[in-house]
C-alpha cells in the first residue's frame, strides 16, 4: 500500500480554505499513485475550534465541507478529521472512498486537562470499527486514544487490523517529542501492526503543534518521520507481510478475540490495493534538540499568530537588555527584518551602554530603528502628579510610570501604523510579578511568556551560534529593568539560576516549599518566590497571551484563583 501523510497547518474556522487545500492534496495524491491519504485531527475545522463548536452554522459548514471532500475520493481512500453531530457532538475521523463516506470513527478518550477542554464540547465515542480493504485491515483512532495502553488501537489490532492510523493534534511542550516517540514505538510493537501517526503542525493562539508525524513498523521500529515545525508530505510504500509474520510467530495472536462480536467491520468500496512498481524510500527527519525545538516553536508561534490574524508589522521596545533582544531576533526569523521595528525610549536613568547595545542589535538585525526619549513626558507627568504625591519619597510609582509611558508610546505607534506590539517579558518575570501592569506588559502578544530567564540566555547563545546577532555585552551584563539608578534584577529577586529551579518546582511540579527546601534550595528564596507567585495572579490574568512551550504555562494551562487564602 502506498500511504501518504499530509502534515497540514490548518486555520481554525477557515473551513473553505482548509477544504480547498485538502482537495488539491487529494488530486495530487491520486496522480502520484497513492492508495490512502491521511490528514490530521480536526484538519477541516482547525484545532482547537473552542466555542465555534456551539454554533450550528459552523457545524453545518463542516458537514458540507466533509461531503464535498468525499466527492473527490475516486480511486483513493482519504481520512480527515472534523466534528459532526449525531446522538452527540463528536470529534471524528471521516473515512472516505469511492466518492462517499464509508465510516465515521469517533474519538473515545477526550482529554480534559492542561490546555484541553474536549469534555466541554464532545461526547465520547464507543465501539470498535475496522475497515477491510483487500488484504489490509485498517484501524483508525484519534490522538488521545493512542495514549491509553488498552485504547481503541489495541482492540482494533485484536480484531485483525494490521495498519493502525492515528490522526492527531498534539501540541508541543518541552521534552514531549521523545516521550511521544517512545510511546508510539511501544504501541506498534504491542499491536504487531504498522502505526501511522499524523500530527497537526502550526500555531493557534498559545498553542504550537510541532508535526513530527511518524510511521512505525510492526516490531516498533521507526520507519519514517516528517519534519518538525513545518508542513510536510510523507509518502511510503508498506508491505503487510511483517505484521502477518509477527502474528504467526507470536502465540498471543492465536488466542482468538473475545471482542469480535462487538466489532463493526466496514468494507472499503475500492478495488484491490495495487503493488507499486517503485518504492518510496523511508525518510526520517531528525528531531531538533531541546534548545533548537524551543526556538523553532517560538518562531512558528509568532509567525502564525501574526499571519493568521492578518497583522502586518510588529514593534518592539528595545531596552538594550536580553529579553527584548531575543524577542527581536525571533521576530526577524519569523517575519523578516523589513517587518520588525525597534523603538528605544531612554529616560534620565538609561545608560549609554543600553543605547549602544540596543543600537548595535538593530544594526546587526538590519531592522528599523527609532528613538523616542521619555524625559520630557516623564517631567510633565511629575509636574502634574507632584502635588498629589504629597512630598512622598520616590518609589515604585515613579519607576512604573516610566514603563507605562513606554507602553503608551508603543500602543500609539500600533494604533497609528497598524503594528502589533510584542511584549518582551519572560516567564520568570511573569511568575513573580516583576513587570509593570499597563507598562512593559502592554501589547498584543508575549513571545517569551512561557520561557524562563535561564532559558532566555540559552536561546540567546543559540541564535549567536554562527554569528553575533545579539551583542556580546547583552549576554554578560547583569539584567536590569533600569528604572532606578544602578538597579539590578537580583536586588528584588533571587539569582535566576536559583529562581528558575523554584519556579519549575512550584509551577510545573506542584511542589510545596518544604519539598523544595529538602531538595537543597535556599529556604528564604523559596518562601519569597512562592509568595510572589501567589500574589501576582491578578497581573498574569491581564497579560497578553503568549506561546506555550513548557508542560505548565500560565493562562489556559495553569488556572489559579486570584482571590484565595490557601498558602
**Least confident among 81-85, 230-234, 493-497:** 493-497
- Does 195 map to a domain? yes
Asked if 192 contacts 157 with a C-beta cutoff of 8 angstroms, the reply is yes
Say if residue 255's pLDDT is above 70. no
Q: In CATH, what number is assigned to the domain containing residue 468? A: 3.40.50.620
Asked if 212 contacts 182 with a C-beta cutoff of 8 angstroms, the reply is no
CB atoms within 10 A of CB 528: 17
Residue range of the domain that includes 516: 494-535
406 plus 471 within the same structural domain: yes
79 plus 154 within the same structural domain: yes
In b/e form, how buried is each residue of 348-364, taking b as 16+ CB within 10 angstroms? ebbeeebeebbbbbbeb
140 plus 160 within the same structural domain: yes
pLDDT in tens, 509-566: 999 999 999 999 999 999 999 999 999 999 999 999 999 999 999 988 888 888 888 8
Query: Is 143 a known active-site residue?
Result: yes
Say if residue 478's pLDDT is above 90. no
pLDDT in tens, 412-466: 999 999 999 999 999 999 999 999 999 999 999 999 999 999 999 999 999 999 9
What residue spans of 336-436 are helical by DSSP H? 352-365, 375-389, 396-417, 427-432
For CA atoms 350, 351, 357, 363, the dihedral sign is positive
In b/e form, how buried is each residue of 54-70, taking b as 16+ CB within 10 angstroms? eeeebbebbbebbeebb
471 plus 498 within the same structural domain: no
pLDDT band for position 8 (cuts 50, 70, 90): very high
Q: Is the omega angle on the peptide bond into residue 531 within 30 degrees of 0, that is, cis?
A: no
329 plus 454 within the same structural domain: yes
- Does 503 map to a domain? yes
For residue 338, give the nearest of 308, 369, 309, 306 by alpha carbon: 369
Contacts for 495 with CB less than 8 Å, ≥ 6 apart: none
Would you call 115 helix, strand, or coil by DSSP? coil
Does pTM surpass 0.85? yes
Give whole-number Cα distances, 222 to 7, 233, 285, 521, in Å.
17, 17, 11, 41
CA distance 285 to 282: 10
**Least confident among 41-55, 279-293, 416-430, 511-525:** 279-293
Q: Which of the following is catalytic: 107, 227, 539, 548?
A: 107
- Does 563 map to a domain? no
Confidence at residue 464, expressed as pLDDT on a 0 to 100 scale: 97
pLDDT in tens, 327-350: 999 999 999 999 999 999 999 999
Residues present in the chain in total: 567
Confidence at residue 254, expressed as pLDDT on a 0 to 100 scale: 62
For residue 427, give the nearest of 396, 412, 410, 448 by alpha carbon: 448
pLDDT in tens, 377-389: 999 999 999 999 9
- Does 554 map to a domain? no
148 plus 215 within the same structural domain: yes
Confidence at residue 220, expressed as pLDDT on a 0 to 100 scale: 93
Confidence at residue 515, expressed as pLDDT on a 0 to 100 scale: 95
* Inter-axis angle of helices 375-389 and 396-417, nearest 10: 130
Q: Which long-range contacts (CB under 8 A, 24 or more apart) does 230-234 make?
A: 230/201, 230/300, 231/7, 231/8, 231/9, 231/201, 231/202, 232/7, 232/201, 232/285, 233/4, 233/5, 233/6, 233/7, 234/4, 234/5, 234/7, 234/283
What are the strands, taking DSSP E only, across 169-262? Answer: 194-199, 201-204, 207-210, 214-216, 222-225, 232-237
CA distance 199 to 279: 24
Q: Which of the following is catalytic: 20, 118, 143, 399?
A: 143
What residue spans of 239-373 are helical by DSSP H? 241-249, 290-308, 322-335, 352-365
CA distance 168 to 81: 9
Count the domains in the chain: 3
What residue spans of 54-175 are helical by DSSP H? 56-70, 152-158
120 plus 226 within the same structural domain: yes
Q: What is the maximum span of the chain, computed from C-alpha positions, in angstroms?
A: 90
pLDDT band for position 242 (cuts 50, 70, 90): confident
CB atoms within 10 A of CB 142: 27
304 plus 233 within the same structural domain: no
Q: Which of the following is catalytic: 20, 27, 31, 41?
A: 41
Query: Is 27 a known active-site residue?
Result: no
Amino acid at each position: 500500500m502506498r500511504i501518504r501523510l499530509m502534515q497540514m497547518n490548518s486555520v481554525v474556522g477557515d473551513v473553505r480554505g482548509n477544504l480547498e487545500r485538502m482537495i488539491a492534496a487529494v488530486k495530487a495524491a491520486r496522480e502520484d499513485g497513492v492508495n490512502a491519504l491521511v490528514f490530521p485531527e480536526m484538519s477541516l475545522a482547525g484545532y482547537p475550534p473552542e466555542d465555534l463548536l456551539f454554533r450550528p452554522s459552523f457545524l453545518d459548514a463542516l458537514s458540507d465541507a466533509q461531503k464535498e471532500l468525499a466527492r473527490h475520493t475516486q480511486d483513493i481512500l482519504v481520512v480527515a478529521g472534523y466534528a459532526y453531530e449525531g446522538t452527540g457532538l463528536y470529534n471524528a475521523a471521516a473515512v472516505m472512498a469511492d466518492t462517499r463516506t464509508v465510516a465515521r470513527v469517533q474519538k473515545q478518550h477526550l482529554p480534559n486537562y492542561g490546555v484541553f477542554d474536549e469534555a466541554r464540547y464532545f461526547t465520547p465515542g464507543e465501539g470498535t470499527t475496522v475497515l477491510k480493504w483487500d488484504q489490509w485491515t485498517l484501524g483508525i483512532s484519534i490522538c488521545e486514544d493512542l495514549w491509553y495502553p488498552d485504547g481503541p488501537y489495541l482492540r482494533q489490532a485484536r480484531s485483525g487490523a494490521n495498519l493502525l492510523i492515528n490522526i492527531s493534534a498534539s501540541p508541543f511542550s518541552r521534552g514531549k517529542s521523545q516521550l511521544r516517540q517512545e510511546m508510539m514505538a511501544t504501541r506498534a510493537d504491542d499491536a504487531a501492526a504498522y502505526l501511522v501517526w499524523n500530527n497537526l503542525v502550526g500555531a493557534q493562539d498559545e498553542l504550537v503543534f510541532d508535526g513530527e508525524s511518524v510511521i512505525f513498523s510492526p516490531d516498533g521500529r521507526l520507519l519514517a518521520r516528517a519534519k518538525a515545525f513545518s508542513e510536510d508530505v510523507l509518502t511510503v510504500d508498506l508491505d503487510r507481510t511483517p505484521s502477518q509474520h509477527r502474528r504467526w510467530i507470536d502465540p498471543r495472536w492465536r488466542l482468538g478475540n473475545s471482542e469480535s462480536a462487538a466489532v463493526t467491520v466496514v468494507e472499503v468500496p475500492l478495488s484491490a490495493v495495487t503493488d507499486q512498481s517503485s518504492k518510496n524510500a523511508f525518510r526520517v527527519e531528525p528531531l531538533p534538540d531541546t534548545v533548537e525545538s524551543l526556538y523553532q516553536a517560538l518562531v512558528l508561534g509568532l509567525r502564525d499568530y501574526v499571519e493568521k490574524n492578518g497583522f502586518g508589522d510588529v514593534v518592539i521596545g528595545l531596552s538594550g537588555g536580553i529579553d527584548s533582544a531575543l524577542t527581536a531576533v525571533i521576530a526577524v526569523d519569523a517575519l523578516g527584518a523589513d517587518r520588525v521595528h525597534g523603538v528605544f525610549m531612554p529616560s534620565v536613568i538609561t545608560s549609554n551602554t543600553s543605547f549602544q547595545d540596543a543600537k548595535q542589535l538593530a544594526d546587526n538585525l538590519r531592522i528599523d530603528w527609532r528613538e523616542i526619549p521619555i524625559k520630557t513626558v516623564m517631567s510633565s507627568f511629575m509636574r502634574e502628579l507632584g502635588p498629589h504625591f504629597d512630598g512622598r519619597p520616590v518609589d515604585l510609582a515613579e519607576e512604573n510610570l516610566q514603563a507605562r509611558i513606554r507602553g503608551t508610546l508603543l500602543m500609539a505607534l500600533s494604533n497609528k501604523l497598524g503594528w502589533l506590539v510584542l511584549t518582551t517579558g519572560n516567564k520568570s518575570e511573569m511568575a513573580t510579578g516583576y513587570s509593570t501592569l499597563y507598562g512593559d506588559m502592554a501589547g498584543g502578544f508575549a513571545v517569551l511568556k512561557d520561557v524562563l530567564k535561564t532559558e532566555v540566555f540559552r536561546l540567546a547563545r543559540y541564535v549567536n551560534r554562527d554569528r553575533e546577532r545579539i551583542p556580546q555585552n547583552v549576554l554578560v551584563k547583569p539584567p536590569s529593568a533600569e528604572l532606578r539608578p544602578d538597579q539590578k534584577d537580583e536586588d528584588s529577586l533571587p539569582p535566576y539560576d536559583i529562581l528558575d529551579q523554584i519556579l519549575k518546582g512550584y509551577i510545573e511540579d506542584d511542589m510545596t516549599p518544604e519539598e523544595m527546601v529538602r531538595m537543597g534550595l535556599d529556604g528564604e528564596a523559596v518562601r519569597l518566590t512562592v509568595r510572589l507567585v501567589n500574589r501576582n495572579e491578578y497581573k498574569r490574568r491581564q497579560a497578553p497571551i503568549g506561546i506555550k512551550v513548557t508542560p505548565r504555562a500560565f493562562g489556559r494551562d495553569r488556572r489559579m484563583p486570584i482571590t484565595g487564602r490557601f498558602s
